[in-house]
Amino acid sequence: MDIRINDRLSIPERELVFTASRSRGPGGQHVNKVNSRMTLHFDIQNSSYLTPTQKNVLCGSLATRVNANGIFRLDCQKHRMQSMNRAELLDRFASHIRTALLPKRFRVPTKISKAAQERRLEQKKRQGRIKKRRSPALGRDE
């Protein structure tokens, strides 16, 4: 089965490695005896479905989730069932990869208009006058 990332890219499920472990948190006996937590490992560097450019982009964009060996890792322990956690992981995996591969939009630098600068300075002067009126007059004896 292939995981569809976008129109041009799909990654086969055989490139992903899933491991099950015990979930953390509350749940009593169920949590203590059932391996419902799923972890997904995807080797970005050795993937034959990604171009070298895509590999570099993914390693840069997903740096907090990629280890030194280039393996992308995701965990899910949201559900009580292993199969539901696995399905959630596949959705999150596709979403992370899709988002990381989107082209970055660069900000077009703009200049502040003369009128906007004047409005800002006028507002600052007005605020200064208000504050000055609040303070007691210097040299006044009370």
pLDDT grade for 91, boundaries at 50, 70 and 90: very high
Residue 85 maps to a domain: yes
Residue 129 maps to a domain: no
86 lies in which domain range? 2-101
> Does pLDDT of 23 surpass 90?
no
> Does pLDDT of 116 surpass 70?
yes
Residue 16 maps to a domain: yes
CATH code, 25: 3.30.160.20
Residue 59 maps to a domain: yes
Residue 13 maps to a domain: yes
Q: Which residue has the higher pLDDT, 27 or 134?
A: 134
pLDDT tens per residue, range 33-88: 788 899 999 999 999 899 999 999 999 999 999 998 889 999 998 888 889 999 99
Residue 70 maps to a domain: yes
> What whole-number distance in Å separates Cα of residue 47 and Cα of residue 1?
16
> Does pLDDT of 25 surpass 80?
no
pLDDT at 127: 96
pLDDT at 76: 92
pLDDT grade for 136, boundaries at 50, 70 and 90: confident
**Number of separate domains in the chain:** 1
pLDDT grade for 138, boundaries at 50, 70 and 90: low
Residue 110 maps to a domain: no
Q: What is the mean pLDDT of the chain?
A: 88
